[in-house]
Structure 1
Amino acid sequence: MDMKPVLIFSGTTEGRKLAYRLAARGIPSVVSVATDYGAEVMEPHAGVEVIEGRMDREAMAEAMRRRDFLCVVDATHPFAVLVSQEIKAACEHEALSYLRLSRSAQSKSPEPGQDAAAVWEEELQQKGRLHFFDDVKEAALYLREREGNILLTTGSKELRRFSALLDDEKRLYVRVLPSIEAIRACEEIGLCGKQIFAVQGPFSTAMNRAFLKHADARFLLTKESGEAGGYPQKLEAAACEGAVALVLRDPERGSSDVERMQEQDLYERIISLSGMEQEVKDYAPALRCLTIAGMGPGSRMERTRKVQRALEQAEILFGAETVLKALSDLATPKEAVYRAEEIAAWLSAHPKIRRAVAVYAGDIGFYSGASGLQKKMQTLLSGNGEQGGTWTVQVLNGISSVSYLAGRLGICWQNAALLSAHGRRCNVIGHVRTHGCCFLLLSGVSQLRQIGAGLEQASACGILGTIRIYVGYQLSCPEEKIWQATTEELQRLEAEGLYTLCILHSDGDGKSLLPGIADAAFQRRRRSVPMTKEEIRTLALCKLRLSRHFVLYDVGAGTGSVSIEAALCCEEGFVYSIEKKPEACELLRQNQRRFLIDNMEIVEAEAPDGLDRLPAPTHLFIGGSSGRAEEIIAKVQERNPQVRVVMTCVSLETLGELKALMRRYGDQAPELLQLQVSRGKTLGAYHLLEGQNPVFLLSFGGEKGIAESISSLEPEEKEGGRDAKPGN
């Protein structure tokens, strides 16, 4: 039975620690934080899910209804009184247990048995330099009547209200979290750069003293926030620097409305609710984090804030040499490795490393060298925990070249075909033919010139309508260029580098997606090379039930009419046209050039000979077998037992083969059709029907598991592909 999760409304160090401690015990948690900064400081951990965004009572209740939670923990700041009230009310509405996590008011002291905060409170009171207030308004009115600079350490939430009551922002120096939201709040009340200390704690006494000196502060405004909030260190700094400490009282102190529990007590309560036995020893292994990050097109300005933060906090950066070169602004040590096994070996040899980042260019979810890396790294690192702690792997996506170029061009790309010809086969003409907008990632200028020649030929043959081509070169880098080019200009380019194309095709979205090319469109030799006629061809393709990434063997391909129609049906599939007659192979090549088919390869061989060197098929069409149909099917089914088979025959001799095949493959639901097609023709004032040869069509197989077989046959993205270089 799965363990119910705990919903934790966090925002404090105690909340984070509790989530990790519960996860180590096998109790999952969902941690709700109000800001993106709150999400960033949460270390990734298996069993800990983070949700981000401010919530009102209704939103909290909705979040509680989404899961079957064990209980709800309120680990928000003690001064976030309204938030706590909303959480408690939502829990009451949803009939969930509400547990309030309290910050410890006790703090360490040089003297055993003493409370450090109490010691410094007593010293400051003896000197008349300690005052308590119930709220910000009281403190602001007190300061308004006195001169001297103020170091405010109570956060940004009530900064606007405090500044308005003080009515003299020049006296004010504030210490806030390094978040955009907090800094914006400071700027909105008119504070300049030297008055803003945007830093993340904890702060020692020495650091607090340094802030007081820098601000030349006579007053220190703080909250009664306990040891976790650095309250004793602030009081000690004020005592040492001769400052007056102004303290906002803990609004929950003395309240009897809610039971406030220390971390250990609350942890034990949750263990009890879960039905687990209490631990004899509570041990949570240390956390180590590997981040797989996409750095965007290349420049520092195009890195996301989360990626930049991960890079700055890392102790080691992994990546291809070209990627690491683009990270020259970072002083962090770097290792030019990017394969999973190499990264795992390096980390195993350096057990003291706790934060590592494997960096790839662009967006790691889009034709990336990091494809499948997260799962692989988690498996490889699972055995390293005993040496230095438990590894977790997180993924941070970057900005892809497609979204970058689309933004620069002002083009909507939600319906575009997204393609990569970097280190992989790509049917560019086929995609452009059927899409109004295509984005294409390329590996270099030679490939760009080849595509320019192909597009020029397709336009000249009438395969394509009017096209517009936009070129992005070294996107986001200092040498970036974006311009509109012709196919002729593409073929003349010489500068090496990474290119991204946007191709707009006026007729792309209007192309037919169904088979049915007229017989007259194909080059033919009627006597020596037979052709599957249009009506039979259309039905045969329907019976094949081609899927998106099909691999089709067309055995006895003849003129290639079935091969070409299949290739045109789906530009992401691939056809192997197998033909033994040299004359027919030449005709196949003529028709392939005529229709500019890239996703088709002609194999001159007599099947089943020559099939072993080809990728396993998902579909098989037999238009001519020379009496070896049973051998061919048996050979193909060795490669893929789930292959879908369609076979046609005209002669009585081949009909005998069909009968034998139906007996052999009776468990695969064979279907036999006899087709008679008549075509209308005009003879003078009359319209007559001219009968065609009757055709038998047999189909079977592929009914179960065809999706799985296609998935298993898809090629994996090459590790260290285009995203191993800056510029994708």
Structure 2
Amino acid sequence: MSRILIFGGTTEGRLLAEYCHEQKKSAWVSVATGYGKTVLPESPYLLIQETPMNEEEMERFINHNGITLVFDATHPYAAVVSKNIASSCEKTGTKRIRVVRESLTNKEDGGAGEHVIWVDSVEEAVLYLKEKEGNILVTTGSKELARFTLLDSFEERVYARILPTVSVISSCEEIGIKGKRLIGMQGPFSQELNEAMIRQYDIRYLVTKEAGNAGGFQEKIKAAEACQIKSLVVGRPMAETGMTLKEAKEILFDYDAGDGVQVDGGSQEDPSTIRNVCLIGIGMGGPEQMTVQAVKALKDSQVVFGADRMLKSIEDMIPGVKQIPWYVSRDILPWLEEHKEYKKIVILYSGDTGFYSGAKKMMEAFLAESNQSTYETEILPGISSVSYLCSKLKTGWEDAKLMSLHGRQGDVAEELKKFHQVFALLDGTNTVNQVCLRLIEEGFGEVKLSVGERLSYSDERIITGTPVSLKDGEFDVLSAVWIER
């Protein structure tokens, strides 16, 4: 049963909904329009309420659905809606979190430059524009658009960027703003696209609300400055208190519908919270070669790191889990420090974690980090290339010399002088052809040589011959060889 309710219709609301989907947490998401529903992910964990609610309807909805935690992620200017949410939560005794955007600039710190004019309301912006000439691009939303019809020749001067829905376009046409004066698009927009629109319609004044980074505010201001036009910025009606999107995600992560969480006083991040890190060897690459323990750890994870080819091999196994194609500590550790809401972390490695694997350095990095963050680390080894190839060749490897020429230097021929069996991992620098020539050079041209390519994949190939017979063959650069004399 879903006991979480997100009031959305904003970027923050959508991102919270996506996070619930990723974390497999059931939640109701309330949006005011059908368009708000279309930008949400299709998920078995999300229930959509797309009809606007007044205070009484919110109260009934909360009681009827047993809601225990409410996130108010509505627009910074939706003051009436936020007031109704707060009141309904107070009456029902429901915990409420206001998700606020970080304000990028304000009057006190000098705004965004001399080309920016700050006003307290849309009405004040209209009064300013009455004394000016030139085209106007309004990006404050369709609900505020009627005020701009007070301007002389508004039908010719005002261009409105609005949401591309039938109802919104119809409401604009009813007040006389229509045709090419309507730009139906969903943002946020890049600086370059804003600049293109300004130039296309010969805009002299851009009207916007200070809506934080998620609203594309900075891109609009920079575009206006680049085009040397004025920006009229409607400052926020009041300073808001609440949690950032990141803090809200941390609350969501720890939230238990039965026990609840303490939500007063901002971020509830507990520095002593243990974060589980699992380094998994996935074998040669085919998912069938993974251990049951590794599969379980993957399915329980919240974020998975690894080389792109590894992530692709297991993506069907973990739908909804965040996947990032990184595999070195200098990339992974800073990201984890910035995203402490992720507590179950998996890092993938090919083959066995104990045989020339990057898992060793990664473990050292996490151990060094333990004085600052609490990580509980675990290594789950995979099936190594040597054990797999030897099983296919029906032989043992307890007396063999194991070596890797994958990004390393070594001499297979010299090792074969000391050992009867040699196993080696190869790469694009140390190829099968080069190994064959080196063996022939040292008098081992007729020893038994087996080459394993694409081991465990559907196009796996294992060829056995001699250095003489195989020296001119074509082989995958990431091959493994088994040599016997």
| TM-score, structure 1 as length reference | 0.35
Cα distance change, pair 261–12 in 1 and its aligned pair in 2 (3 A): same
Q: How does 1:359-398 map to 2 (within 5 A)?
A: 385-386=316-317
Instruction: Indicate the RMSD between aligned Cα atoms, in angstroms.
Output: 3.1
Q: 1:42 Cα shift? A: 1.0
SS of aligned partner of 1:8? strand
1:679-707 deviation line (CA, Å, top 9, x unaligned):
xxxxxxxxxxxxxxxxxxxxxxxxxxxxx
2:94 pairs with 1:96: yes
Identical pairs, percent: 37
Pick closer, same or farther for the CA change 1:191–1:273 going to 2, 3 Å: same
The alpha carbon displacement at 1:199 in A equals 0.7
Alignment counterpart, residue 268 of structure 1, candidates 239, 246, 250: 250
The residue number in structure 2 matching 1:145 is 131
Which residue of the other structure, out of 150, 157, 162, is the alignment partner of 1:176? 162
**1:124 pairs with 107, 113, 122, which one?**
113
Pick from 228, 241, 260 the counterpart of residue 227 of structure 2. 241
Give the equivalent residue in structure 2 for 1:517: none
Question: How many angstroms apart in 2 are the aligned matches of 1:40 and 1:239?
Answer: 33
How far off its partner does 1:154 sit?
Answer: 0.8
Residue in 2 that maps onto 1:12:
10
Gaps of at least 5 residues in structure 2 are 262-268, 278-307, 323-485
Q: Residue deviations 1:635-693, cap 9 Å, x none?
A: xxxxxxxxxxxxxxxxxxxxxxxxxxxxxxxxxxxxxxxxxxxxxxxxxxxxxxxxxxx
Counterpart-to-counterpart distance in 2, 1:36 and 1:137: 29
Shift of residue 27, structure 1, vs aligned partner: 2.5
Compared CA separation, residues 43 and 22, structure 1 to 2 (3 A):
closer
Distance 2:47 2:192 in 1: 36
Amino acid of the structure 2 residue aligned with 1:266: A
What is the CA-CA distance between 1:237 and the residue it aligns to?
Answer: 0.4
Contact 1:8/1:74 (<8 A) preserved: yes
Counterpart pick for 2:179 among 193, 209, 213: 193
- Look up the equivalent residue of 2:92 and give its one-letter code: E
Runs of at least 5 residues in structure 1 that lack an aligned partner in the other structure: 107-114, 284-350, 353-382, 392-728
Whether the aligned pair in 2 keeps the contact of 1:238 and 1:244 (CA below 8 Å) is yes
SS class of match (1:68): coil
> Residues 485-527 of structure 1, C-alpha deviation per residue, up to 9 Å, x if partnerless?
xxxxxxxxxxxxxxxxxxxxxxxxxxxxxxxxxxxxxxxxxxx
The answer on whether the counterparts of 2:148 and 2:158 sit within 8 Å (CA) in structure 1 is no
Q: Does 1:82 align with 2:93?
A: no
Shift of 1:145: 1.4
How far did residue 271 of structure 1 move?
4.2
For 2:243 and 2:276, locate their aligned partners in 1 and report how far apart those are by CA, in whole Å: 18
Deviations along 1:544-599, one digit per CA (max 9) or x if unpaired, are xxxxxxxxxxxxxxxxxxxxxxxxxxxxxxxxxxxxxxxxxxxxxxxxxxxxxxxx
* Deviation (angstroms), 1:159: 1.1
TM-score of the aligned structures, taking structure 2 as reference length: 0.52
Q: Hey, what's the Cα distance between the residues in 2 that align with 1:282 and 1:13? A: 30
Specify the alignment match of 1:250 in structure 2.
236
> What pairs up with 1:554-569 in 2 under 5 angstroms?
none
1:225-277 Cα deviation digits (max 9, x unpaired):
11110111101001010110100112232x5xxx3210122223344552589
CA contact (8 A) 1:121 1:235 kept: no
Please say if 1:232 is aligned against 2:232.
no
Task: Verify the 8 A CA contact 1:159 1:185 in the aligned structure 2.
Answer: no
User: For the residues of structure 2 that align with 1:165 and 1:171, how far apart are their CA atoms?
Assistant: 9
Corresponding residue SS for 1:222: strand
Deviations 1:66-96 (A, max 9, x none): 2111211111110111111111111112111
Superposed, which structure 2 residues align to 1:439-478 within 5 Å? none
User: Take 1:389 and 1:238, find their aligned partners in 2: how far apart are those partners?
Assistant: 39
| Aligned equivalent of 2:19 | 21
Aligned counterpart, 1:72: 70
1:92-114: CA deviation from partner (whole Å, max 9, x where unpaired): 121111210011235xxxxxxxx
How far apart, CA to CA, are the structure 2 residues paired with 1:122 and 1:268?
32
The amino acid across from 2:249 in the alignment is Y
Q: Is residue 5–residue 27 contact of structure 1 (8 Å, CA) maintained in 2?
A: no
Measure the CA separation in 1 of the matches of 2:45 and 2:319: 19
Q: Secondary structure at the match of 1:157?
A: helix
Deviates more, 1:38-47 or 1:21-30: 21-30
Number of aligned pairs? Answer: 277
The residue type paired with residue 233 of structure 1 is E
Question: Deviations for 1:164-207, whole angstroms, at most 9, x for unmatched residues?
Answer: 36662321001011111211122112123211110111211110
Amino acid at match of 2:26: P
Structure 2 distance, partners of 1:260, 1:41, is 25
Residue 205 (structure 1) aligns with: 191
Q: Does 1:220 align with 2:206?
A: yes
CA contact (8 A) 2:148 2:154 kept: no
Show CA shifts across 1:350-377 (max 9, x none). x99xxxxxxxxxxxxxxxxxxxxxxxxx
**Deviation digits for residues 403-432 of structure 1, max 9, x if unmatched?**
xxxxxxxxxxxxxxxxxxxxxxxxxxxxxx
Shift of 1:388: 7.5
**Distance (Å, rounded) in 2 between the aligned partners of 1:91 and 1:20:** 23
What SS class does the counterpart of residue 30 from structure 2 fall into?
strand
Larger Rg: 1
Tell me how far apart the structure 2 counterparts of residues 123 and 8 of structure 1 sit (CA, whole Å). 32
Change (3 A) 1:189 1:282: farther
CA contact (8 A) 2:136 2:206 kept: yes
The letter for the 1-side match of 2:126 is A
CA contact (8 A) 1:78 1:252 kept: no
Distance 2:100 2:141 in 1: 19
Whether the aligned pair in 2 keeps the contact of 1:140 and 1:162 (CA below 8 Å) is yes
The separation in 2 between residues aligned to 1:80 and 1:251, in whole angstroms, is 10
CA gap of 1:149–1:263, structure 2 versus 1, over 3 A, is: same
Tell me by how many angstroms 1:385 deviates: 2.6
**2:40 & 2:254 partners in 1: Cα distance?**
26
How far did residue 59 of structure 1 move?
1.3
Contact 2:112 2:221 in 1 (8 A): no
Distance, in Å, in 1 between the alignment partners of 2:193 and 2:9 is: 23
